Structure 1
Amino acid sequence: MKNKFPIVWQLSVTQFSKKTLVKGVLLLEAPFAYDKKIGNARNLINVFKSYFIRVYANKTILIRMDGHSITTTTDRHGSFSIFIDSLINEIPQIRIPESDFPLRILQTYPIIFQHSESKIDVISDIDDTIIVSHSANFIKRIGTLALKAPHNRKSISPSSSLLNAFEKKGASVFYISKSESNLFGLLTSYIVHNSLPKGSLFLTPYLKLSQLLNSKKGVDYKFNNIRLIMDNNEDKKYILIGDDSQKDIDVYLRIIAAFPNRILKVYIRQTRSKISHSQQQKWEQLESSTVASHYFRNETENEVIKDIEQLLNN
């Protein structure tokens, strides 16, 4: 459906200890919202169509919330990101200069993520950590995304146990993924359907099909976003959750080096039945670092639960 005005596709208001990060993505058409169960064939069509939707790029927008009125500009991907030096508790109204009316916000997923009182928060990967995605293999990844609707995909039990246990103790969860913003509706539908903590999502820019096929996502994307979270929450320590399929261990080793006293523990999911030589080398690097770590398989959920209980009771 084409709109006279752009729509707000992805919006988050994420509180840190003293500041609030407001991020969003504006599109010229409305993608499928995943607010109801669909079949796998319909999912294929929806995913494919999302890569043909144009973004509202390089345009001036006006943001109003909690007494603040801010003018900013979307980037070439239709995204905007601003910091406000106070804690915002109101959903922003986003306008364009040509209209006095707020733009339509599509998402049903939460927008405001409040700063938690917990001394521990969690930063988690998404692909192959909480959802099987085959992210190391482009063809398998696209096939899994396109051919399996989010309501038909089961969660990874040990990861779910980890996230839910920390949320019950009051921790905030931040999801950082190299998945593109096109998949925001699909990923949030999966999170909600599987009763995972509703945390703030940090995704890479919205892509056209040609960009997807030749995607050059920044190698430092995850590191930079984890650093942003930790720099703005200096009062907290963190649990890091990831997998061994791509670069999570490398990124987490860099984070440990940058914040040696603020990582409480690292959990890494084993994605294959056999660990490759390179995966074993990376794990040994992590294991020999100054931070406690746990390498788990899908079959070892009880072991993971015991580990969490011990950690939380210390």
Structure 2
Amino acid sequence: MSDWKTTFVNYLGQVEEKFDDLTYRLRKRLNYFNPIQIVPYRSYGTPNRLYIKGRVLENKGIAQAGDKDTILNNLLNMYKRFESDEVMDARLQVKFQGQTHEIISDREGYFVINLEPPTPLPLDNVWHEIEVELVEAQIPYTPGIKATAEVLVPPPDAEYGIISDIDDTIIHTSAYSALSMSRVVFLNNARTRLPFAGVSEFYRSLQLGRNGKRNNPFFYVSSSPWNLYDLLKDFLDLNQIPAGPLLLRDFGLMQNKFMGGSHMGHKFKEIQNILLTYPELNFVLIGDSGQEDANIYREVVKQFPTRILAIYIRDVQLPDREKMAVAVSEELKGHSVPMLVVDNSVEAAEHAAQLGLIYQEALPEIEHEKDKDKGLKPGKETADLFGS
């Protein structure tokens, strides 16, 4: 970043910090606070180390998404997500395997802790639940506020892992166009936004793999802000898309977050951390041609040349972006890593079946789901997983 941009961003950060302090003092004088909530994020770990992240926020009362929510309902809920009031310096206790750990939330309400279980985790469950409790805060609160963090630990017999983008890969967002993306994101909710046709069944087939145990782990890496965590989590659950850690980005003026930072840097770092955490596990990468996924995945292959089984890139039907993605796929042939730029989910599934990643018998159901979703009533956002 150039010197003037760095100076400008630092200045904005100082302004934001002073404004937050002023607002906090005013609200404290008026005793104007909402109830506190703990928002743990789905994360991941190993039998010997668990990574837990979450946020302490004032509860703005974001309503549960409904099929009949109006545009005004959705706009109000989205406003509440982005106009968040963070609870800094909150003291939390994390209890697991008979041990208690304490952690303090930072200025933006985030808390992060790495736990080392005294005894290795049993691997009969993929997900492990950890209790987080609020024990002290600088604003009024009701004692006994708790939440449960979910941590994914892949079993040793997992065949491979799947790392997937979200926007324009699972769900139509038009992330490559700020105006179109804003209209889609702000005017809809977890129920009115639908996955690309075929995505649910294709992803469940990848999770099932060939061993039939449905234990191949999913990881979702996105440049969406953490403010949208609840919406994305609910979207995955409502559409029966395999659960997995959601690895998003912070949003704000400080540390160049308002400027967006590096889309490529964020996603590459998160994917790198996943592969380093599970050195014995190979991966399938799924993204789209709308932003930088093809370039990011190329760098992942260069750093981990034997760890990537296949790459699937959904074509967003922009010629320049498609040309770039195809060029990357040609380059990766030299690394013996197949990367397909595809138009529909069936193409990707057929290739996955040829590689032995999924059962051939899964293909008719993916085709059926693709055709079935095309018949959804007008007004619903639906298209094929890898094309309309």
TM normalised by structure 2 equals 0.70
1:62 and 1:97 in contact (8 A); partners too: no
Report what 1:113 is aligned to: 152
Residues 144-178 of structure 1 deviation map (CA, whole Å, 9 limit, x = unaligned): 10112221222123543431111123211011111
Closer, same or farther in 2 for the Cα pair 1:150/1:90, shift >3 Å? closer
Closer, same or farther in 2 for the Cα pair 1:131/1:31, shift >3 Å? farther
Instruction: Tell me how far 1:213 sits from its aligned partner.
Output: 5.9
What does residue range 168-183 of structure 1 map to in structure 2 within 5 Å? 168-169=208-209, 170-183=215-228
Q: Secondary structure at the match of 1:150?
A: coil
Instruction: Tell me how far 1:207 sits from its aligned partner.
Output: 4.7
Report what 2:181 is aligned to: 141
1:180 and 1:207 in contact (8 A); partners too: no
Closer, same or farther in 2 for the Cα pair 1:81/1:213, shift >3 Å? closer
Residues 35-84 of structure 1 deviation map (CA, whole Å, 9 limit, x = unaligned): 54452411122112221121123544332222232222323332222222
Q: Secondary structure at the match of 1:154?
A: coil
Instruction: Tell me how far 1:17 sits from its aligned partner.
Output: 4.8
1:119 and 1:235 in contact (8 A); partners too: no
Report what 2:59 is aligned to: 29
Point out the more displaced range, 75-84 or 171-180: 75-84
1:103 aligns to 2:142 (yes or no): no
Closer, same or farther in 2 for the Cα pair 1:68/1:33, shift >3 Å? farther
How many percent identity over aligned positions? Answer: 22
Q: C-alpha root-mean-square deviation of aligned residues, in Å?
A: 2.8
Q: Which of the numbers 74, 81, 88 marks the counterpart of 1:43? A: 74
Name the amino acid aligned to 1:92.
E
Report what 2:92 is aligned to: 61
Larger Rg belongs to = 2
Q: Which is richer in strand?
A: 1
Report what 1:312 is aligned to: 356
Name the amino acid aligned to 2:314.
R
1:264 aligns to 2:309 (yes or no): yes
Distance in 2, matches of 1:101 and 1:13, equals: 26
Report what 2:291 is aligned to: 246
2:41 and 2:245 in contact (8 A); partners too: no
Unmatched tracts of structure 2, length 5 or more:
1-31, 122-127, 210-214, 359-388
TM normalised by structure 1 equals 0.86
Q: Give the aligned length.
A: 306
1:181 and 1:207 in contact (8 A); partners too: no
Greater RCO (CA < 8 Å, at least 6 residues apart): 1
Q: Secondary structure at the match of 1:151?
A: coil
Q: Secondary structure at the match of 1:291?
A: coil
Name the amino acid aligned to 1:62.
Q
Distance in 1, matches of 2:174 and 2:110, equals: 27
